[in-house]
Structure formats: C-alpha cells, structure tokens
Structure 1
Amino acid sequence: MRMGAIGGAVRAGFLAAACGVLVVSVSGCGGSGGERGVKGDGGSGDRVGRAPARTVGLKRIPDVGERLRELIPSQSRQVVAVYGEGPDSAASTVVLYSKSGSTWDLTRSWEGHNGKKGWTADHHEGDKRSPVGVFTLTDAGGALADPGAELPYTRSDSFQAPRYWAKSHWHDFDYVIAIDYNRVKGTAPNDPTRPEGQTKGGGIWLHMDHGSGTSACVSLSKSGMEYLLRTLDPDQHPVVVMGDKAALKA
C-alpha cells in the first residue's frame, strides 16, 4: 500500500479542482443513499434490492451497448457500472460486476448519485454533469486510514472537505477512488495535474454519498466505498462504465 503526505500546495489544488468544485463553492461532490446489496457480507447497511432477474453467468455487462462495451479492456475482470436514471438526473445505481471464466457475475449493487445536472459526453469544468464513458480505476485515498484497499491508497488530511461546506458534505472524501478522467495515473486522487487542460475538468471520483447530486463525481454509501476499496484489485484491471441508461445502451 502507498501512503502519502500531501502538502499545502496540493491541498490548494484539490480545493480548486477536485470533483469540479470551485473554491467559492459551498457545496461539494457527493450524495447519501442507502445501498442495495445483492450479495452481501451481512455488514451494516446492506439490504436486498432490485436487481436483474439473472445475476450470474452473464455473457456481457447488462444494458451496455456495443460502443462502450468495446472500450472495456479485454483484461478487465472487474467492472463498476454506473446506471444513471436519465440524462438530466442526479440519481444512479452503482453495480459491481466480476468476471468468472468467460462470464460476468453481479457481485453487489448500491443506490448512488452522479452530477447534479446529469450526464454529458463532453464534460467541462463546472458543468455539474458527470462524464459518460469507460475509465480505468488505478488509485485511491481519503481522509480516513486505509481500510485494507487493494488499489494504492493515499491517506491525507488534505482530502478533508472544507468546513465552510454544508455539514452534510464534510465526510464526502473520507474514502475516494479516482476515476481516470483527465488525470495522471499512479498519483494520489487529489493530484491537480490535468493533462487535457483545466477546461476539461478533472478530480472525478467515486466517493461517499451525502444524499443528493454531485459536482461531477459518482457517490455511494460508506460501506459501499469500503467494499469497493477492499475488492477492486489492480491485477484484475478494474474499470468504471458510467452514463445515463440511454447513453450506456447506445
């Protein structure tokens, strides 16, 4: 595991860029929703919810069309699928699929949130929409100690949400997993480097939910984040496939 001590300069960059939040903003990325456990470990917060009629032995990731399916690397054996309710909706369902042999099993499912204005295929800084696409998941971190993450994990106080944000947002970044959109892989999630430039946005994360839409990230429950951190394995080449349902099927 990788531990990091991140200085004030990165802290400033994080506040300016993480999850598309501007320094002048008083709301952070995130949202809180109860999780829908399909296969649980009996942990607090898991509960059976709606799921596809068949959850094991799937030939392909459900409701993901050929265009995006072809972007999933052939070596990927873990896929986090984020199904947005609609192009302008902040509500979504987060599902973890794991590959067994040549087929996929639905491992677990949670209620979540995405950008408060919905989704876009052309994300820009401040548009409050989550980017549609397939992105690798390579780095994690947070304000809390490493919960046993398989991905490289950077623990730092620099992840703490500013206390001038609403109190409901203070724990948004206790745990985060970087979505590799306009970022440098192999760095802490709050590294402010944007290879495609600042206007394309960045700091798009999976992180803890606070009950409503985010600035561009995807959020789910604390127990869901802990499960993903302990389950997503670099050797399995995890990716996220995310978008509103119509965009995913296209």
Structure 2
Amino acid sequence: MPAFVRKGAPALLGAGTLCAALLLTGCAHPAPTAPPPATAAPTAKTPAAKTPSGEAAATDARPGSAPRIAGLGPRTQARVPDGTTQALVVTGATENSNTATAVLHQRGPDGRWYESGGPWPARNALRGWTDDHWAGDLRTPIGVFRVGDAGGRLPDPGARLPYDEDPEFAISGTGFRGEPLEGSFDHVIAIDYNRVPGRTPLDKERPLGAGRGGGVWIHVDHGGPTQACIALDREDLRTLLVALDPAAEPVVVMGPAPALAR
C-alpha cells in the first residue's frame, strides 16, 4: 500500500494560502451575503445495519442483501467498477438540497450488496448537486468516484488508506451560516474528482483544468453547507476512515436520489 512521506518535505500548500486556494475548490468559503435556501434538516442517526457472523451462504443469507446497491438504478450501478466491494452512497433528496444521508455498502462473496455502515447525516454544497461541476458553482458533482487517499491535521485514527498527517490541513474563517470552519479538515478523504490519485489530498494538480474545480473531499461537518465537498460528523468520519479498505477498491456514489435511481 502506498504511503505519503510528508515530514520534513517541502509544503505543497502554505498555511497562509490554503484558504485562498480553497475558494476555487470544493471546501470552505466565507458566508454569502444572501441567506442560503431552506432545506430539510440532516437525518437522524440510526444504528448501523448488522450482518450475521461467519461465511455467507451460496444463496446470500444477509438481511436486506441485493444484487444491486439500494437506491441505485441500472445505469448508476453499471458505473461501479467490477472490482469494487465497498461503496459509500451519499443521497440528497433533490437536485437543490444541501443535506444528505450517507450509507456504506459492502458486496458479499456471492456478489450481493448489504449495508455495513450508517446511515449517517451528511451535508453537501450550498446549491445542491450537478452533473457538470465548475469551480465556484457551489454544487457537488454527481457521479461515481474512487476514494483512495486520506489525510488531516490530526493523527491517523487507524485508516487503511494512505493517510497524510500535516499541519497544512489547518483552516480558519467562517462558513455560509457564519459557523467556524476550524477543525473541518482534521480528517479528510479525497474524492477522485479532477485530481491525481495516489497523492496527498493537499495536491493541487487538476487534470481537467482549474476551471472544473477540485479539492472535493469528505471532511468533518462544520455545521453548514460546503462549496462542493461532502461533510460528515466527526465520529462518523472516523468510523468511515477505519472501515474503508483499499483492497476493496472503494468508491463514493453521490447525488440526488432521482439521479442515482437512473
């Protein structure tokens, strides 16, 4: 498994420039002058789905298991790579909603999917979702994206993904609702939208060009909508970090429910 070597290396992004750079990426933005649109409150937490111990039977005995991930239509399911056995599904109610629900799904030995984590309340971009993301549109990209690199200001909580602990993940300022952003990047998981996989989340190379945005992460919820990122409660994010296994080729499937159901 690749690992990041950061201690003593030149900083990729100076602490004084991190917030400025993020104005063109997925995370952290000063509060807007106009109030954000009203959306439904985040869903309440419920215990994670339990699975029986032992090997799965030839005909899957796991409660709720299915050949397709719950909530995904055939077109979306077809975009999940054949080798993937972990998928975080982040579902918003509508195209314009900025709260969502995240559920981790696992594929068993017989190819059927079951819930293995969550549901967890989540947030996304201020203006909702888009299948044509551009920097500054304040929408989260819809799609199926690999997740393979993590990091944060705080020490690794036990992640199996490569984890870059670095003070450059510090952030300050306020969000769209005036909430403090400090601590939002204590732990992050990079979403492979317009980035080079296998690098620290701090890396700024944008293969599609800066205009298509970037720096789209799963990070700690700061109590308000994001620029384009997904945000989870701190403990839920730590749970997800520990659960994700690079050998499972994990992906995030994200978007409004109607789009994911296609």
Superposition TM-score tier, normalisation by shorter sequence: 0.7 to 0.9
- Determine which of 127, 148, 171 is the counterpart of 2:158: 148
1:121 matched residue in structure 2: 131
Q: Which moved more, 1:226-235 or 1:59-68?
A: 59-68
* Counterpart residue number, 2:6: 4
**Equivalent of 2:82, from 70, 74, 77?**
74
Rate the CA distance shift 1:39–1:3 in 2: closer, same or farther, 3 A: farther
Superposed CA offset, 1:72-127 (max 9, x none): 00110000000012101101001100111211111121001011100000000000
Could you say what the CA RMSD is over the residues aligned between the two structures, in angstroms?
A: 2.7
Q: 1:158 to 1:113 in 2, by over 3 A?
A: same
1:239 pairs, out of 246, 251, 260, with 251
1:104 aligns with 2:113: yes
Contact 2:141 2:255 in 1 (8 A): yes
CA contact (8 A) 1:141 1:188 kept: yes
User: In structure 2, what is the Cα distance between the partners aligned to 1:194 and 1:161?
Assistant: 21
1:80-99 matches, within 5 Å, as 80-99=88-107
CA deviations over 1:30-50 (Å, ceiling 9, x no partner): xx9676243289xxxxxxxxx
Correspondence list, 1:213-224, <5 A:
213-224=225-236
Query: Which residue is 1:39 aligned to?
Result: 48
Q: Classify 1:172/1:216 alpha carbon distance in 2 versus 1 (closer, same or farther; 3 Å).
A: same
| Correspondent of 1:204 among 199, 211, 216 | 216
Contact 2:91/2:255 (<8 A) preserved:
yes
1:19 and 1:137 map into 2 onto residues whose CA distance is 22
Give the corresponding residue for 1:65. Answer: 73
| Structure 2: gaps spanning 5 or more residues | 33-40, 51-61
Q: Is the 8 A contact 2:26 2:216 kept in 1?
A: no
TM-score, structure 2 normalization: 0.81
2:30 to 21, 26, 31: 26
Question: Could you say if the C-alpha distance between residues 220 and 193 of structure 1 is closer, same or farther in structure 2, counting changes exceeding 3 Å?
Answer: same
- Partner deviation per Cα, 1:180-208 (whole Å, 9 max, x = no partner): 00000011001111000000000000011
C-alpha displacement of 1:63: 1.4
CA displacement at 1:211 relative to structure 2: 2.1
> More relative contact order in 1 or in 2 (CA 8 Å, sep 6+)?
1
CA–CA distance in structure 1, aligned partners of residues 248 and 23 of structure 2: 26
Question: For residues 193 and 246 of structure 1, what CA distance do their matches in structure 2 show?
Answer: 32
Q: 2:19 aligns with which of 15, 21, 27?
A: 15
Q: Which has the larger radius of gyration?
A: 2
- How many residues matched? 235
Residue in structure 1 matched with residue 188 of structure 2 by the alignment: 176
Letter paired with 1:39: A
Hey, what does 1:226 align to over in structure 2? 238
In the alignment, residue 104 of structure 1 is paired with which amino acid?
Answer: W
Q: 1:58 to 1:183 in 2, by over 3 A?
A: same
SS at 2:19 equivalent: helix
- Kindly provide the amino acid, as one letter, of the partner of residue 100 in structure 1: G
Greater displacement, 81-90 / 100-109: 100-109
Partner Cα separation in structure 1 for residue 75 and residue 151 of structure 2: 31
Instruction: Find the aligned partners of 1:161 and 1:123 in 2 and give their Cα distance.
Output: 24
